[in-house]
Amino acid sequence: MKTPVQIAVTGAAGQITYALLFRLAAGDFLGPDQPVVLRLLEVPAAMDSMQGVVMELEDCAFPLLRGVVTTSDPRVAFENADYAFLVGAKPRGEGMERKDLLEVNAQIFSVQGKALNDVAHPDVKVLVVGNPANTNALIAQRNAPRLDPSNFSAMTRLDHNRSVSLLASHCSVPVTDIRRVIIWGNHSSTQYPDIHHAIVGGDRATSRVDRQWYETLFIETVQQRGSAIIKIRGKSSAASAANAALEHMRTWVAGTADGDWVSMVIPSDGSYGIEPGLMFSYPVTIEDGRHRIVQGLDIDDFSRRMLAATEAELKSERDAVAALL
């Protein structure tokens, strides 16, 4: 049996983690021969509720679950962590944009960035889920100078999966026939879901869909999907977010499939003219745990405008939290 890996998860009494923790403990992340220790972080007021989740984890008798640490101290939660799922943050309600959460959530990520810096494993892979995810990830990364910036990421995998699903259903093909969709930029309503390079079966996606449908319905549906779920469910997406978080981390470890890529928010290196250092969603391939931005894609005028809009929003979010960087 392998040595257990240490997986830190924040917001452990929340709705996303309720859908995530049981899958992590069951081996859905790292496979059936990798034992795990879960290191759960909550605010003091939610410790009881988190304890209830721990009781349920115990009651599953998961063979791979070798321990559960519960704490309200980030330095305990992140000690020697190999992976960190930063989920704990306030979700938005109806009528809010994700960036409206910046003021209430930003502080969490500066505290947690410092703690990761001080106590996590030097190769820790960090995924920020809490919104506004890109800018929270930027805050965490800037507060952890000991760690390689490329260890920090934020989640657009849910938007990616939404795009795959919507394109597949529009083209009446299984989701497995869809490859190479892209989410560019911010996990917000300015994100740019791009199908110019996508493949449906063996065809270019652009030859299978009507341009009007793509430019209006497709893009807006993906951009607004989070809001649509809040409106109809009364709460933000949880199980689909947990699934995307698990897939994001799993792909980061296992690598991308041959000929395909995934969307991931990572520090910009200037690719596609985006300001270096911004946490920006790019198409990436992954090998040996390292992500690489897909290079050489043609960007037409329409795409250029969409990239510029989402980059401008990220710059303004960054400027709003300058004091924490």
Ligand X SMILES: NC(=O)C1=CN([C@@H]2O[C@H](COP(=O)(O)OP(=O)(O)OC[C@H]3O[C@@H](n4cnc5c(N)ncnc54)[C@H](O)[C@@H]3O)[C@@H](O)[C@H]2O)C=CC1
C-alpha angle 196-152-264 in degrees, rounded to nearest 5: 15
For ligand OAA, the closer of residues 232 and 323 by Cβ is 232
Does 162 show up as a binding residue in the annotation?
Answer: yes
Partner whose footprint covers residue 16, from ligand OAA, ligand X, none (CB < 5 to 8 Å by kind): ligand X
Q: Which residue is nearest to ligand X (CB)?
A: 14
The candidate with the shortest Cα–Cα distance to 101, out of 78, 77, 126, 128, is: 128
Of all residues in this chain, which one has the CB nearest to ligand OAA in the complex?
226
- Report the residue number, 153 or 236, with the smaller CB distance to ligand OAA: 236
CA distance 132 to 305: 22
Has 187 been annotated as catalytic? yes
Q: Work out whether 137 is an interface residue with ligand OAA (CB under 6 A).
A: no
Residue 169's identity, in one-letter code, is S
Determine the angle formed by the axes of helices 133-142 and 102-119, rounding to 10 degrees: 40
92 is in an annotated binding site: yes
> Contacts with ligand OAA in 182-211 (CB under 6 A)?
none
Selected range binding ligand OAA among 118-126, 209-217, 222-230, 276-284, rule: CB under 6 A: 222-230
Q: How far is the CB of 227 from ligand OAA (least distance, A)?
A: 6
Query: With CB cut-offs between 5 and 8 Å by kind, which of ligand OAA, ligand X, none does residue 180 bind?
Result: none
**Dihedral sign (CA 268, 325, 311, 193):** positive
Which of 121, 160, 170, 187 is catalytic? The answer is: 187
Cα–Cα distance measured from residue 103 to residue 110, given in angstroms and rounded to the nearest whole number: 12
Which distant-in-sequence residues (6+ apart) come within 8 Å of 120 by Cβ?
Answer: 8, 78, 79, 80, 81, 84, 126, 147
Shortest separation between residue 46's beta carbon and ligand OAA, angstroms: 19
Give the shortest CB-204-to-ligand X separation in angstroms: 28
Instruction: Identify the sign of the CA torsion 109, 182, 286, 3.
Output: positive
Neighbours of 126 (CB within 10 A): 25
Annotated binding site for NAD(+): 105, 112, 129-131
Q: Which positions touch ligand OAA (CB under 6 A)? A: 91-92, 98, 131, 158, 226-227, 229-230, 236-237
The set of catalytic residues is 187
Annotated binding site: 92, 98, 105, 112, 129-131, 162
